[in-house]
Amino acid sequence: MIFIKLLTYTFTYVKISIEKDLKMLTYSKDEMVGVTEFGKSIGAFLNKVVENPLNKLVILRRNKPEAVIIPIEECENLKKPNTQTIEAIKEVENMKKNPHLYKSYNSFSEIIQEIDDEI
């Protein structure tokens, strides 16, 4: 059971990470600016990003994304460890210290079968 809980944490973390990555990889037209235009109005573009925490500004060079400007809060959030990941790591550490408290599986199909049996 604990192992299944650990898998849930891990998959949730991966799902959240993928969603964040996808969110950061899609840009609307008003979020993109050429490097020359950006250089002429840095203050205005910075205000645009800071005023709305969901905003990001993609700097283009030769029509290719080169950099992204995001609010400082968003940057700090990216550095914070995910709570579910921390819990999963603690669980793995506990499993290593106390393996006798956890059920072991020989294959992934055994895990699936146990889940099916409980449902």
Give the start-end residues of each E strand in the chain. 32-34, 57-61, 64-69
The confidence score (pLDDT) of residue 16 equals 45
Mean pLDDT in residue range 32-54: 87
Q: How far is CA 16 from CA 11, 19, 22, 65, 79, in A?
A: 9, 5, 10, 23, 14
Strand partners, 35: none
pLDDT in tens, 92-116: 888 888 877 777 778 888 888 888 8
Q: How far is CA 21 from CA 2, 10, 14, 84, 114, in A?
A: 29, 16, 10, 18, 33
Work out the burial of residue 88: count CB atoms within 10 Å of its CB; fewer than 13 is exposed, 13-18 middle, 19 or more buried: buried
Domain ranges of the chain: 2-100
The confidence score (pLDDT) of residue 18 equals 44
Comparison of pLDDT for 86 and 54, the residue scoring more = 86
In the predicted model, what is the mean pLDDT of the chain? Answer: 76
Mean pLDDT in residue range 7-35: 61
The confidence score (pLDDT) of residue 35 equals 93
Q: Which residues have C-beta within 8 Å of that of residue 61, sequence separation ≥ 6?
A: 34, 35
The confidence score (pLDDT) of residue 101 equals 76
Tell me 102's DSSP state: S
Pick the CATH number of 2-100 from 1.10.150.120, 3.40.1620.10, 2.40.270.10, 1.25.60.10: 3.40.1620.10
Strand partners, 69: 57
Comparison of pLDDT for 34 and 24, the residue scoring more = 34
